[in-house]
Amino acid sequence: MWISREAAFSDVVLAPAGVVVGAGVVGLLRLVPGWPDGLVGTIVTVVLAIVVMIGWPTWLARQRGETSATPAPLDAGDVGRSALLGLPIVAAGILSSLAAGLPLDRAAFGRLAVIPVSPEGIAQMTLLVVAALGSFLLVVLVARRAAHAFRSPDMSVTAGLRTYGMGFAAAAAVLQLLFSLAYDQPFSRGLAVGVALAVTVLLADRLVPPGLAATRAAILTPAIVAAALWIVQGGFLLGGPLLPRLAGAATAGTLALCMGAAVQAGRTWATALVPLAATIWLQTIIPVFG
């Protein structure tokens, strides 16, 4: 589908801005006296998260004549690629959890293991799924719009993925190790995350045809958006802790860059399990309601 450069650039800005504003409004509402507690409060948060993280990017896509935020068709081959691309994150989460002394069930199910089996627990699990799906929709939409907003290819997507992807992964590994040192966490987690991100970059590289070209801006935009959202939503600009947010930003940036490169190659659905695996075993890619 053709879209003007101005409209595409507008969506690149509006998509993450809408998420930030929506999350901020929800945060303010939760401070209002009378905000419901317990199950009701969680259900209301889930509904608002669906509006902000799923409804907003879907609405933007439909405004441009698309039926959804991810119009690329789903094919059987993408199912296997999706599982393969999410596998390093799952392995890193499980191995680092076991190395930290967590029991096997807690390591195997990540954040799902601590959710109680109750109506409120089901609502919390739904919130995690919404966070993962919202991350998927937003990164895919931004990647697709960036391809239209920046139309003068100046490098191959594979070269950009290897250069910037490995750069983000290395930064994430260093920051994760510094985080482990500063917060008395086992080094194994930082090492596992760094290795998993590097492997994810290499796997994403296999999804991109060698001759595919794009601009540096189009390749980097999903990573910059994800990293910036982590810093802003993490409260760093308001005096929040710096190191955890930088580590989260570098990690999210790596995964978003891999997803964006696959989307540029027409492999949209091959990225679907990346945000879900990250949400359960690592962190959300887009740090809203996750």
User: For residue range 190-222, what is the model confidence (pLDDT) as tens digits?
Assistant: 889 999 999 999 999 999 988 899 999 999 999
pTM: predicted TM-score of the whole model, two decimal places: 0.91
The pLDDT, as a whole number, for residue 42 is 85
CA distance 53 to 275: 13
Q: What's the pLDDT band for 71 if we cut at 50, 70, 90?
A: low
Q: Which residue has the higher pLDDT, 213 or 3?
A: 213
- Please give the mean pLDDT across all residues of the chain: 87
Q: Tell me: the pLDDT tens digits for 159-202? A: 999 999 999 999 999 998 898 888 877 788 888 999 999 999 99
